[in-house]
Amino acid sequence: MNETQKTKFWYQLRSFGLKRIIVSTEFFISLAVFIAMVVDSSYGLNIFSKSQVIIIAIFAAAATLFAITLAALAIILSFSSSEFVSFLNKTRVFSKILFQFWLGNGAFLLVLLLCITYFIFNLQNFPKLEEYLYPAIVALFSYATINSFYILGAVIRFGYFLGIYENIRSGKTKDKN
């Protein structure tokens, strides 16, 4: 398999592991949000506000956070040389860093797609869709927002490994510092 194939989503997903996504704090939090909102809607508890204004706010926030995380990826990649990327590949870190961006931006894009779906359809004609779509948007946005902290961690790890790489290249080690 060539190096370009290794940067594609499905390869990254296999490398990262679907189990790590499903058995994660952000997944359980978003699942709890989804279940709570569906139960609230199904039993008419009216605990959660259900307003189109909230969907508009989520849409705007998701679009903004998507743009910010994409810019963060562009910035860290602009600091990368091919030698540094090879170094990250050898230490098996590059895929982990790159996949955080795939996952986070994919979640934000899915939120945007669901919001657009919410706006396009007259949901009064599709009560079951309305019952599940609104909670899905809120839950997925929760997931994506929490995941953005992992993206921040990926940027920090990238900087950390860049420092290690520069020290190795310049011949410095911890003993000499």
Q: Classify residue 5: in a domain, yes or no.
A: no
CA 139 – CA 6 distance, rounded (Å) = 30
Q: Classify residue 111: in a domain, yes or no.
A: yes
The range of the structural domain enclosing residue 124 comes to 17-170
Q: Classify residue 175: in a domain, yes or no.
A: no
Token reading at 76: 């860290």
Q: Classify residue 28: in a domain, yes or no.
A: yes
The whole-number pLDDT of residue 177 equals 47
Task: Say if residue 34's pLDDT is above 70.
Answer: yes
pLDDT band at 116 (very low <50, low <70, confident <90, very high): very high
- pTM given for the model: 0.85
Q: Classify residue 162: in a domain, yes or no.
A: yes
User: Average pLDDT over the chain, rounded to whole?
Assistant: 89
pLDDT band at 105 (very low <50, low <70, confident <90, very high): very high
Q: Classify residue 44: in a domain, yes or no.
A: yes
Counted domains in the chain: 1
Q: Classify residue 48: in a domain, yes or no.
A: yes
Q: Classify residue 12: in a domain, yes or no.
A: no
